[in-house]
Chains A and B, each alone.
Chain A
Amino acid sequence: MNSILYYPGCGVADQARSMETAARGALGALGWEMEEMERWNCCGTVYSLATDDLMRHVGPARILARVQDAGHEHLLTLCSMCYSTLKRSERFLTEERDRLDRVNAFLDDEPDYTGGVRVVHLLELVRDEIGYEAVEEAVQRPLSGLKVSPYYGCTLTRPRAVGVDDPERPRVLEDLLLALGAEPVSSPQGVECCGAYLTASAPEVARRRAGAIARAAARGGADLMVTSCPLCQYNLDTRQGEAPGASAHAVPSLYFTQLLALALGADPAVDEQVIDPRPVLAARGLAVEVKA
């Protein structure tokens, strides 16, 4: 069994438990174990764009220092935003010695971070370390006939320097879906924003965005959408469901980990969605039992 140190992040630890349950099961089927960090704090969620705002890098630096202190080189994330924030902060701090020195001087209750921890998104681990061939071999329940629209959102692929794939023409989700036997249905809305945090201050914007993304997926014939971000998922699932008249043609959304788990014979943890994906799954011969 291979093992990788894992950073859950607040969203996954709270609202998006299903993303983690499914990931653990799926990785287990692939011979990998996620070892959660003993102590962790919020990554900061939104990467600070101010170049002199070092205080916002204290959170990420503390996480990275602890990873390094525990003797690890890699840190796995499931959430796109945690991935992006941690990875960008790591680059920001290490590309100028002065920044790292100042943050280390402030963090005098942690061992110094010297740089070099590689933040890895689960999609990268599957693509680059495990490999799609191994995934294909481990599939127990091919997702044959299931049409899935990949939704990338913003932070998984942007900015280009830290993204897991090309920001305009990504294919990592399409390739994974092919390995699982599903039929990817790429959508022009797949790389557009879901409304993100406007969901709190202007929910109608998120509703509108989620509706547009879902309609584009439906036009392509998709049964459902997949994403890698708890915030995108909230908007695609909860906010889409709230739009007037949405329920009649709602397109369910799942985490990619849930489809991975489903295909690999692990628990897909799909019982917490607002828009229930089970009817479309059942229609494609992929019935999922309802847990009591």
Chain B
Amino acid sequence: MSAEQDMIRIYIMGKAYEVPGGLTIMKAMEYAGYRLVRGVGCRGGFCGACATVFRRAGDYKLYADLACQATAEDEMYIAQIPSVPAERASWVLTELAPEDNPILALYPEVARCVACNTCTRACPQELEVMDYIQAALRGDIPQVAELSFDCVQCGLCAMRCPAEIVHYHVGQLARRIYGAYRAPEAGHLAARVQETARGDFDQELDKLEQMSKDELVELYRKRDVES
């Protein structure tokens, strides 16, 4: 197969580019000449910085995914959502009354959910987003925490919601409440906090602080990396 046959045509923000097939949307954009400063992060599907919206050839639907995870396809129309300007409610964890379902007080728009499931369809993590909003509505905080656990906070759910719910912030609040008030205490965490307080790691940290930039770079290069 010649290299030419491997090329596909994609449209980035409305402009056509020829790129090799089989690349992720992110790599395809970089091949096309984009230098990504915002809207890029871990490149491994964990950080949620590279939300992308696209349409496939012959399909009227808009799909959402992470640019570092989804593969670019021939005749794909692509736009990046580097940041979602949704409001995050302000709260102090220790001042919340978890038994009163503080979610409804902080995010009353949750009650506008009509169960359309658009959020679920937008989620690149394939979470049951609508189900956790419904759980939030009825005050089932452990269920919200459980169902939203793998959220990467990309915000695509909120961008698509006709009820203007900010799902990813709701999920985060529920996980914080769950962690602070409901989850069983983790024994190993208490032990590690004690070790830290006792100064068990101070020597190693001091050593790092003394190092020159070159030594730090060298150390970083030699670090263990999972392959």
Contacts and interface: CB of A to CB of B under 8 A. Distances in A.
Contacts of A107: 117
A159 to B, nearest CB: 22
Nearest to A53: B114
B82 interface: no
B140 A13 contact: yes
A109 B128 CA distance: 13
B217 interface: no
Interface residues of A, number: 17
A55 B114 CA distance: 7
Given A13-B140, A14-B140, A109-B121, A62 B131 contact: no
Interface in B121-171: 121, 128, 130-131, 134, 137-140, 162
Interface of B is mostly: loop
A41 B163 CA distance: 15
Nearest to A40: B134
Contacts of B128: 39
Contacts of A56: 114
A14 B131 contact: no
B32 interface: no
B116 interface: yes
Contact of B130 (A41, A44, A55): A41
B131 A58 contact: no
Interface of B: 101, 113-117, 120-121, 128, 130-131, 134, 137-140, 162
6 contacts: A39-B128, A41-B115, A58-B114, A58-B115, A107-B117, A109-B120
Interface of A: 10-11, 13-14, 39-42, 44, 55-56, 58-59, 62, 106-107, 109
